[in-house]
Chains A and B, each alone.
Chain A
């Protein structure tokens, strides 16, 4: 392959979508990228460690008992098709399930879900289930489009930024750059988080609320806003519906103070700061979504923005920070049990019929398929996992990994993950910089990634693998990213005008892009919302019953991320520079709780929730809220103790809170 001096690429880690160059022997910063202006977080700086890593999968491998033998690609691909067809023949489409990847390109996810649906099943999911499935449900219903309303750089234009349930300074560090720019202009920053995170360091007002009391806080703010006449009446009248049903008179600052543990005055101050600013933004993440009331939490955030009219203008918006480099794209492409490409509901037969014609299919399945957490309980005969370590990322699956594999299991990945270890067949995939295609970042920015390196051994692009499997099933699906993108233009309205040329330009293009000459749409909902009647829905939600502490489990465990690691760790745990700095799991404990339970800094401790037990090292820190503990979920131990309670609307597990106890392990 001819190599030019430096090839532009997009970071494979989080969803911020930072650009940099890959050179012959390293990386270079991309000063003119619209999101990161050259800067990168520690993971971005270490991104190349993933390529050419000694652990990379190099050959297709088949399991024989407890051993692995190398097989040829044609043998491996034949086997995938055979097993898929056998399962279909013997048990029907309900015995098949597919897990797409928020790390793979749009084109790959599109083809992957297409294969699933052509085989007759909607049991296709991706890791968005565990980060923003409540956002998908709530924002789609309320605003019409389940995505960030404004780009990240827009935050620099905000006069007030309300960050709730997001530790972006650690998890999306480049976003902090834009928040600091707003602060330089005099913007107020409010952070609601039980912990004193580095994000809280940026705050003018830190609301250290009790875990799980977000709705009470937001309703309390709306209560103040309505009492003081700070709402935007003309916006409410002209652009929303449902306001008349919003009776939050119970949520007085005093009552909210007793629920949240915040001072009533701080609730009033937060409400005034947010409502009175010329342009305010809400930034939220998994602290909002990973609750049994996740969908209601998102609804509350959107209510607040709508009541104040802080949507649809530069600097005014709702910004759910997505987790993976292509999680927005994987969802846009319909790698979800409840949506077809282009956000067509699996219950909307008319919308699906358009795809049936486009795909020349006889019939397509209706109704929600199995979501990831349901897969271990289902009677599956065939499971196809593409680029996802479900064993380490879903506590419910982690605990039942043996049940996941009742039939044949294929895992296609770049490393031998714990999920791959239980598979029957492992297919080596090319990493992001070894293939081509588009990734859609958290701000709906679609960027074309070029091939900068050769894949190791016989590893192949996922799209090639899928196309070969499809051919063996009798489907003619292109292995060429550009041709697949052309089909996506037809299937996903927001992507209609997206091409290699506009997605490949510096910074790509932000969807919706309805035709090839369209410049993209950084700010959504400027004139009308994308709901059927063009109005946003305001919808009251109420403070739920909380996970309670008990004499047996007197503390609350909070889970989250740390700056040096990434999700289930299959990439970051293989990066020496990162691992050296954050080598092992720790539990953050407030010094007073530590004294209460006889734990000293550095002690090995046991933690127990009603879901299980795990061992870790205690780290005493006043940053932790009294009465709570914190464990990062990059390490498998956290899965042993995380909650399995589910938000029924979105099928999101309540990973953020669980009552627990700790004791010294000796």
Chain B
């Protein structure tokens, strides 16, 4: 199961992912209209200047997602197979219960329709737009296991070097 994973140490805070997300979610509409009314944010680049970092925040599509659990109308559902948390704006009543419980604060409000708005992980795309657009590959789309394996490699090497040094 692929997930969108974030490597904030590579993020330069350029917000390309935000714009890519907006462009992707405007494409189904008439282009000219989409240009004048950019769709609303589903992804948020948070700058943390005191640590010289920026962190792209987007729906984690949590297992046992709290937003799904509290949704009174069933507008939020979790796909049993992919784990993607989907939002059906037609039956959303805009009660913001989901936004109240979301651990990451990534459920927003569509100002025009007055319903919730969140990451849908780009159902029409093989790779989500934010991931494709990211200039520094701070966002990646992959199996958690693969990513963790890559993450383990560097500290494992360091560990090995330390053991080698101490036995010398």
Contacts and interface: CB of A to CB of B under 8 A. Distances in A.
The answer to whether A and B interact is: yes
A379 to B, nearest CB: 44
B19 A198 contact: no
Interface stretch (A22-30, A268-276, A349-357): A22-30
A48 B36 CA distance: 12
B10 interface: yes
Contacts of B18: 42, 577, 581
B137 interface: yes
Most buried by B among A169, A578, A621: A169
B66 interface: no
A563 B22 CA distance: 17
B20 A198 contact: no
Contact of A41 (B16, B32, B53): B16
Nearest to A172: B135
20 contacts: A25-B27, A26-B26, A26-B31, A39-B16, A39-B134, A42-B19, A44-B16, A45-B20, A49-B35, A52-B35, A169-B14, A173-B16, A198-B13, A201-B52, A201-B53, A576-B37, A576-B38, A577-B19, A577-B23, A623-B49
Contacts of B30: 25
A200 B54 CA distance: 13
A452 to B, nearest CB: 13
Contact of B135 (A25, A41, A46): A41
A57 B60 CA distance: 45
Interface in A22-80: 25-27, 29, 31, 36, 38-42, 44-46, 48-49, 52-54
Q: Which of B19, B31, B132 has the most CB of A within 10 A?
A: B19
B51 to A, nearest CB: 9
Interface string B43-59: 00000011011100000
A198 B23 contact: no
Contacts of B23: 26-27, 45-46, 48, 577
Interface of B: 10, 12-16, 18-20, 22-23, 26-27, 30-32, 35-38, 49-50, 52-54, 132-137
A170 B14 contact: yes
A622 interface: yes
Contacts of B12: 169-170, 173, 176, 198-199, 201-202
A36 B133 CA distance: 9
B50 A622 contact: yes
Contact of A581 (B10, B15, B133): B15
B128 to A, nearest CB: 11
Residue from A26, A564, A577 whose CB has the most chain B CB atoms within 10 Å: A577
B19 A173 contact: no
Contacts of A132: none
Contacts of B137: 39, 177, 180
Nearest to B138: A180
A39 B132 contact: yes
Contact of B15 (A27, A48, A196, A563): A563
Contacts of B50: 622
A36 B49 CA distance: 27
A202 B136 CA distance: 11
Contact of A577 (B14, B38, B133, B134): B38
Interface of A: 25-27, 29, 31, 36, 38-42, 44-46, 48-49, 52-54, 169-170, 173-174, 176-177, 180, 196, 198-202, 563-564, 576-578, 580-581, 621-623
B135 A173 contact: yes
A516 to B, nearest CB: 34
B62 to A, nearest CB: 27
Contacts of A621: 49
Nearest to A196: B52
Contacts of A200: 52
Given A40-B16, A198-B54, A177 B136 contact: yes
A581 B49 CA distance: 17
A144 to B, nearest CB: 32
Contact of B35 (A170, A177, A576): A576
A49 B22 CA distance: 12
A543 to B, nearest CB: 29
A616 to B, nearest CB: 19
A578 B137 CA distance: 21
A53 B35 contact: yes
Nearest to A623: B49
Nearest to A574: B35
B135 A176 contact: yes
A564 B133 CA distance: 15
Given A42-B19, A201-B12, 14 more contacts: A26-B26, A40-B20, A40-B133, A41-B135, A44-B16, A45-B19, A48-B31, A169-B136, A170-B12, A180-B10, A198-B12, A564-B15, A580-B38, A581-B18
B27 A26 contact: yes
Contacts of B38: 576-577, 580
Given A45-B20, A201-B52, A38 B132 contact: yes
Nearest to B150: A184
A580 to B, nearest CB: 7
A170 B50 CA distance: 18
A563 B16 CA distance: 9
A42 B15 contact: yes
Contacts of A49: 35
Contacts of B37: 576
A175 to B, nearest CB: 8
Closest 6 CB pairs of A and B: A169-B12, A45-B19, A198-B12, A173-B135, A42-B19, A201-B52
A39 B138 CA distance: 11
Contacts of B54: 198
B116 to A, nearest CB: 20
B135 A174 contact: yes
B15 A39 contact: no
B32 to A, nearest CB: 6
A54 B31 CA distance: 13
A176 B14 CA distance: 11
Contacts of B13: 169, 198, 563
